[in-house]
């Protein structure tokens, strides 16, 4: 069974469009994240949700809006797509609390804006 | 803020040992992680250090010195499949869910 899944895996769209990426985890984790990995392979955190509450909101454009209907899902909606939004977007999840816990990443969504 | 620095690329020979260094400057520290990422795939967890010293897991070991803001990942008996990017990440002291990644070190293992 897939622990963290994302759809779609590939997304090609034109500038100005609105698109969504979905993420689901079946690990029972309380915390979910969205990361952006650009062409230089730098992995940057965008959002973190803990049990449906936003706890990190990095300085990303407000065109990006995360939505968490329940703690197993964290979707990412992007309005008015721009060329610079082209990247791989990774969803991840982790248990809450201190200690030796790592983040489990989804397979990624490669977004190409033309 | 947080600065996490790693070498951009490294090359090593199959069967050899390679050490990938990571230095960090953070306002708070609550653990350092190493992840492996093969091209076109998601990062996967390798190791975690929160106290000073060496953690060994099979062919991979990770070392931490908190006073120096320094860690390394040691890969022994290199295999071709170890060719990947290795990401150093630091967890924030005040927000356990905030983890910042370095840019990664791309390791190429040659026959």
| Residues near A28 by beta carbon (within 8 Å), at least 6 away in sequence | none
| Residue B104 sits at the chain A interface (C-beta within 8 Å) | yes
B35 against A50, higher pLDDT? B35
pLDDT category, A1, cuts 50, 70, 90?
low
What is the pLDDT, as a whole number, of residue B100? Answer: 86
Degrees (nearest 5) of the Cα angle A93, B35, B3? 95
Nearest to B28 by CA among B107, B100, B79: B100
Do residues B90 and B32 touch, judged by C-beta distance below 8 A?
A: yes
CB contact under 8 A, A48 and B98: yes
What is the pLDDT, as a whole number, of residue A102? Answer: 84
CB contact under 8 A, B100 and A45: yes
What is the pLDDT, as a whole number, of residue B27? Answer: 76
d(CA A90, CA A88): 6
Identity of the residue in A41, A98, A107 whose CB atom sits nearest the CB atom of B96: A98
Tell me the Cα Rg of chain A: 13
| Residue B60 sits at the chain A interface (C-beta within 8 Å) | no
What is the pLDDT, as a whole number, of residue A30? Answer: 87
List phi, psi (to 5°) of A69.
-70, -30
What is the pLDDT, as a whole number, of residue B49? Answer: 94
Do residues A23 and A104 touch, judged by C-beta distance below 8 A?
A: no
DSSP for A34-102 reads EEEE-TT--EEEEEEEETTEEEEE-S--TTEEEEEEETTEEEEEE-S--GGG-EEEEEEEE-SSSSS--
What is the pLDDT, as a whole number, of residue A100? Answer: 64
pLDDT digits (tens, 9 = 90+) for A55-97: 777 778 999 999 998 889 999 999 999 999 999 999 999 887 5
| Per-residue burial over A42-59, b = 16 or more CB atoms within 10 Å of its CB, e = otherwise | ebebbbbbbeeeebbeee
Strand segments, DSSP code E, in B60-104 are 60-65, 70-75, 84-91, 99-101
| Residue B47 sits at the chain A interface (C-beta within 8 Å) | no
Let me know if A22 is exposed, middle or buried by CB neighbors in 10 A (0-12, 13-18, 19+).
middle
* Average pLDDT value over all residues in chain B: 92
């Amino acid at each position: 069974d897939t622990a963290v899944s994302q759809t779609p895996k590939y997304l090609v769209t034109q500038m100005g469009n609105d698109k969504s990426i979905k993420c689901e985890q079946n690990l029972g984790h309380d915390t979910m994240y969205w990361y952006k990995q650009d062409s230089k392979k730098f992995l940057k955190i965008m959002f973190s949700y803990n049990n449906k509450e936003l706890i990190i909101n990095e300085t990303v454009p407000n065109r990006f809006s995360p939505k968490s209907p329940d703690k197993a899902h964290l979707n990412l909606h992007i309005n008015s797509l721009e060329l610079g939004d082209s990247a791989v977007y990774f969803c991840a999840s982790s248990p809450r609390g201190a200690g030796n816990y790592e983040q489990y990443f989804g397979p990624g969504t490669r977004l190409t804006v033309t | 803020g947080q600065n996490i620095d790693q070498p951009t690329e490294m090359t090593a020979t199959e069967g050899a040992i390679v050490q990938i260094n990571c230095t960090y400057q953070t306002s708070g520290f609550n653990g350092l992680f190493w992840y492996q990422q093969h091209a076109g795939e998601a990062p996967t967890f390798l190791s975690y250090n929160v106290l000073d010293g060496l953690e060994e897991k099979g062919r991979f070991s990770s070392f931490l010195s908190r006073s120096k803001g320094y860690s390394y990942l040691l890969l022994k008996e290199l295999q071709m499949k170890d060719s990947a990017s290795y990401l150093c990440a630091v967890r924030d002291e005040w927000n356990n869910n905030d983890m910042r990644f370095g840019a990664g070190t791309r390791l190429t293992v040659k026959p």
